[in-house]
């Protein structure tokens, strides 16, 4: 994957390469965040398709299943490609893993609060809040990952690529 990313960047004109490397972490977060969204949608729809009929628990199970799949995908891609986090042993790995899941649980709670306040109490459209909350949650996930989960990263990506 890293070779593919480097190849994609290498075909860009030099000014765009500089912009990419200056904001590499953020670009990669956008790409892998988009892929995480795809994982969430596909796993949710897959469960809905595989479960025959319409049991009452289907929606909840689909949401929980897709959340677990998406967060797990996000953890590994964020750890390796976005924040380039290296763990030295199993204890350190599980600490980072638990921190990541904890941060994502916090933003899941934040999303629930957003829906409660804006949809249930203030009557704002669920469709509008769905899209707006995704932007807020996306940014909050990045900040929590950067500041709390993958905080031991030695160098910023931009510093590694300075000329």
> In 10 A of CB 22, how many CB atoms?
14
Select the more confidently predicted residue: 92 or 152: 92
Give pLDDT tens digits for 103-143.
999 999 998 899 889 988 998 888 888 888 888 999 999 99
What average pLDDT score do residues 31-50 get?
87
Q: Using alpha carbons, select from 112, 103, 113, 115 the residue that is nearest to residue 139.
A: 103
Q: What is the DSSP string of 53-72?
A: S--TTHHHHHHHHHHHHHHH
Q: Using alpha carbons, select from 95, 84, 90 the residue that is nearest to residue 161.
A: 84
Domain positions in the chain: 1-84, 90-152
User: 57 pLDDT band (50/70/90 cuts)?
Assistant: low
47 three-state secondary structure = helix
């Amino acid at each position: 994957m890293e070779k593919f990313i480097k190849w994609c960047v290498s075909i860009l004109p030099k000014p765009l390469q500089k912009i990419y490397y200056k904001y590499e972490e953020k670009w990669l977060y956008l790409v892998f965040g988009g892929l995480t969204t795809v994982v969430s949608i596909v796993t949710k729809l897959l469960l809905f398709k595989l479960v025959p009929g319409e049991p009452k628990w289907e929606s909840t199970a689909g949401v929980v299943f897709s959340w677990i799949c998406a967060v797990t995908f996000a953890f590994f891609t964020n750890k390796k490609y976005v924040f380039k986090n290296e763990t030295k042993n199993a204890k350190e790995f599980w600490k980072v893993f638990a921190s990541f899941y904890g941060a994502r649980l916090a933003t899941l709670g934040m999303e629930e609060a957003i829906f409660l306040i804006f949809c249930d109490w203030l009557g704002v459209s669920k469709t509008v809040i769905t899209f707006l909350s995704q932007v807020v949650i996306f940014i909050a996930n990045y900040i929590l990952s950067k500041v709390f989960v993958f905080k031991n990263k030695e160098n910023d990506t931009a510093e590694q690529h300075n000329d």
